[in-house]
Each structure stands twice: as C-alpha cells, then as structure tokens.
Amino acid sequence: MALRLRLRLRSMRGSSVDVVALVESGYETVRPELLVPVDVARALGCYPELPAGAVIKEYVLADGSRTRLIRVRGAVEVSVVEEDRVVGGVTADLVISERAEEVLISDKLADELRIVIIAAGEGLWCFRDELGRKVRRTR
C-alpha cells in the first residue's frame, strides 16, 4: 500500500479541483512541487494553454530515463483535506507531465504540508502536530 491523500488545488488562474495524490518521498526537489497529469492541469486552467513563466525542461528520472515536463513556478496552492481538518494553503510549483497517471507530492511539499509518514507500506501517517497522538490511514 502507498500513502495517498486528498488534496484541494487552487491555481493562480482561479480554478480549483480536488484530487487524490501519492506522497513520493523519492521525488526530491529544492522547492515544493506537485506533479500532475494533463487532465488535472487542464482542470486547473494550466493546459494546453500554459501560464506565463512556464518552462519546458528535461528531467532525469530515478531509473535514469529522461522525460519532458512543464514547470510553472508558484502556480498552485495545495491543501490536504481530511474529515476533521484542512491543512495547507502551501504555494507550490506545478509540474505537468504528459505521461503521468497520478498526482505526486514531492518531499519538500510533504514537509510544507506537515505530513509525517509513520509506516509507508501500511499507508499510516499523521500531521506533524499529531505525532504520537493520532494515526491516519491512506485514502
């Protein structure tokens, strides 16, 4: 099992959408990033017409392969939506992948959202202020 969370995304263009996203600790970034498939980018109003400042870059993946991604700095506000609370409003870079099948949360974005992985394989987690007091289960 993997760790998946419900997110609310709001783009700089004013569109919003709720998605389920995978927390990917191996997705290492310098700044908070959210990788999305084109259907999510389209719902946010960021694809196929790209926002100003969009940059197309070639990324090297963990397996050494290369892929072309579209990166828009500070293009999305991200919140984790749980039954009992909403945490976030974190500004993140939007990374659009024409090959992705699901939304991925980078390590830095997970940190900014105060997500603590308790047992990744079991899908157990909590928010940083709940550590030792509450355990949540993946979606």
Please list the pLDDT of the chain residue by residue as tens digits (139 residues).
Answer: 689 999 999 999 899 999 999 998 888 999 999 999 999 999 999 999 999 999 999 988 778 999 999 999 999 999 999 999 999 999 999 999 999 999 999 999 999 999 999 999 999 999 999 999 999 999 7
Contact by Cβ (8 Å): 34, 115: no
Q: For position 24, what pLDDT does the model report?
A: 87
- The CATH classification number of 4-137 equals 2.40.70.10
- Domain spans of the chain? 4-137
Task: Kindly report each contact of residues 77-80 with a partner whose C-beta sits within 8 Å and lies 24 or more positions away, as own/partner.
Answer: 77/9, 77/10, 77/11, 78/7, 78/8, 78/9, 78/32, 78/34, 78/105, 78/109, 78/113, 79/7, 79/8, 79/113, 80/5, 80/6, 80/7, 80/113, 80/115, 80/127
AA letter at 82 = E
pTM above threshold 0.75: yes
Record the tokens describing residue 12, joined without a space: 């700089």
